[in-house]
Amino acid sequence: MSEPWRRTLQYACANHRIISAINCDQQVNWLHLDLVLKQIPSVQLGAELDQALVAFNRLLKYKSVKQVTLGYFRMLEVRQDGDLSEARIHILLSTLKSYFQGRYYLKCDTWLSLWRKAMDREADNRVTVEVSSINGKSDKCHTIDTMRRGLQQMQQSQQECEASKADERPGGRRWIGYGKLLKQYLDLPRSGDDLDLGSYDMDDPVANRAFEIMLAWYPGIRKAAVR
């Protein structure tokens, strides 16, 4: 198992436990938000990524976002195809329980407008967003089987899930980040073995769905066709 994919699996497992713990303690909603920069020339990639991370922090401070968000996990992924790249900030976002029920709800167009504002590129069609709710529509048996095989692979590599040692990459850029509620739960003492399937609440359909979503993410830069 390659190092980036091992980290993907580690974070997917760690966040499954965090999400199920939060859901047990309080009522929240969960969003999957992708903040996207398309067609980035390779020579501008470093500067664009730095700007995107600053813009992400700015986005969270806007009143309409701040008043509904409780916490987040983010992973920065870059796909390179020749001289162009596409950057995605993948985000698990916990929101108020009432997020979908009234004045707090943000439509996709609103997310897009706010993201472009944060990037200071209101008219740039290369700056896009994708947003969806994380619901309980998942195949529990499939998720259990996937996690079991993943934990076995990590056991074979004899490496523990240590997120704090993996979130810095060459160049000093932080590819992984936790904030607010999710960071609080990340820092709490955990019971059980991270590599033991019995330590995970597989009866939480939202955590199961989030786990499946995160397995498609990749922390860092990879050679792949730009979407």
Mean of per-residue pLDDT scores for the chain:
89
Give yes or no for residue 170 having a pLDDT over 80.
no
The answer to whether the CB of 133 falls within 8 A of the CB of 29 is yes
The answer to whether the CB of 212 falls within 8 A of the CB of 138 is yes
The answer to whether the CB of 11 falls within 8 A of the CB of 219 is yes
Residue 158: pLDDT band (50, 70, 90) is low
Name the more confident of 196 and 136: 196
pLDDT for the residue numbered 4: 74
DSSP-based three-state secondary structure for 184: helix
pLDDT for the residue numbered 187: 80
Give yes or no for residue 3 having a pLDDT over 80.
no
Query: What digits encode the pLDDT tens for the residues 11-45?
Result: 999 999 999 999 999 999 999 999 999 999 989 99
CB atoms within 10 A of CB 162: 11
DSSP-based three-state secondary structure for 90: strand
The answer to whether the CB of 116 falls within 8 A of the CB of 127 is yes
Name the more confident of 47 and 225: 47
Interval 76-100 mean pLDDT: 96
- Kindly give the pairing relationship between strand 220-223 and strand 69-81: parallel
Closest to 14 in 3D by CA, of 213, 218, 211, 212 = 211
Residue with tokens 């997917």: 12
Query: What digits encode the pLDDT tens for the residues 53-86?
Result: 999 999 999 999 999 999 999 999 999 999 999 9
Q: How far apart are CA 152 and CA 32, in angstroms?
A: 27
Query: What digits encode the pLDDT tens for the residues 171-212?
Result: 446 899 999 999 999 988 776 678 889 999 999 999 999 999
Q: How far apart are CA 53 and CA 177, in angstroms?
A: 10
CB atoms within 10 A of CB 220: 17
Rg (CA), the chain: 17
Give yes or no for residue 166 having a pLDDT over 50.
no
The answer to whether the CB of 92 falls within 8 A of the CB of 72 is yes
